[in-house]
Structure 1
Amino acid sequence: MLLVVSELVTNACLHAEGPDHLAITCDKKVIRLEVTDRGPGQPAPRTPHRAGRPGGHGMFIVQRLCLDWGVVRAPDVAGKTVWAELGAPA
């Protein structure tokens, strides 16, 4: 979980002047991470992924470690919330 939080927060720092909000929620099956920032960009895994190339691995790591992830934009509000879900420990 810490690696995914680090990747989402780092992306907000690199591409959106830092995060505005971090939320972590959990139920019996899923841990949901949400990082909100004011950046206009759309995060996406670099395609094709090249393991030996420096940088650009953050969203690939998130995609590989998480059950699902996505981006939510609120109408009339600058920025976005990037979310990711991991399986909760038993």
Structure 2
Amino acid sequence: MGDPPRAGLSVAEQRRRLSLSGVRGHVAKGRHFTNQALQDWGWDGTETSEDVLLLVSELLTNASLHAGGCIELVLTAGEVLRIEVFDGTTTPPRPNPSPQRGIPGGHGLYIVGRISDRWGTRIHEHGKAVWAEVEASRLVSGRPTGR
């Protein structure tokens, strides 16, 4: 019979927030939170949804390692899925100009740039948000992961 067609969003835009200030295991919590949102929005079980989880992991890890920690993870769904990670510094992230293959570290923003459709930073009064976007069409039509 096959799988039923994947549904899009029933609401034009939805937003979810997860406070991460002082939370231990924030990367795992952020991935779980994101996975639940993707399931609720009918955007789970595809290669692109796995890419979204990797984006969340990379952004949260970068905030933890280079910006003094994560304050909040915000997911906004509409025509794009926007992932925002808020931290308490205004220093913009700088991609490593020459990450070395096979050596850990320095690849996070390169990965973010490769798998997102767009990414950037936004300064606000208490720090910054590093964001990445994935077109919703990729989440709806992505190849199944085979789970």
User: Normalising to structure 2: TM-score of the pair?
Assistant: 0.55
Higher-strand-fraction structure = 1
Paired residue for 2:67, among 16, 24, 44? 16
Counterpart residue number, 2:54:
3
**Unaligned runs of at least 5 residues, structure 1:** none
Measured after TM superposition, the shift of residue 87 of structure 1 is 2.0
Higher-helix-fraction structure = 2
**Higher RCO structure, 1 or 2 (CA under 8 Å, sep 6+):** 1
Counterpart residue number, 2:113:
63
Counterpart residue number, 1:26:
77
Measured after TM superposition, the shift of residue 48 of structure 1 is 2.6
The one-letter code sitting in structure 1 at the alignment partner of 2:108 is G
**Unaligned runs of at least 5 residues, structure 2:** 1-51, 141-147
CA distance in 2, matches of 1:56, 1:40: 20
Identity %: 46
CA distance in 1, matches of 2:99, 2:65: 19
Measured after TM superposition, the shift of residue 21 of structure 1 is 0.9
The one-letter code sitting in structure 1 at the alignment partner of 2:100 is R
Contact 2:99 2:105 in 1 (8 A): no
Higher Cα radius of gyration: 2
CA distance in 1, matches of 2:129, 2:93: 11
Q: CA RMSD in A?
A: 1.3
- Whether 1:81 and 2:129 are equivalent positions in the alignment is yes
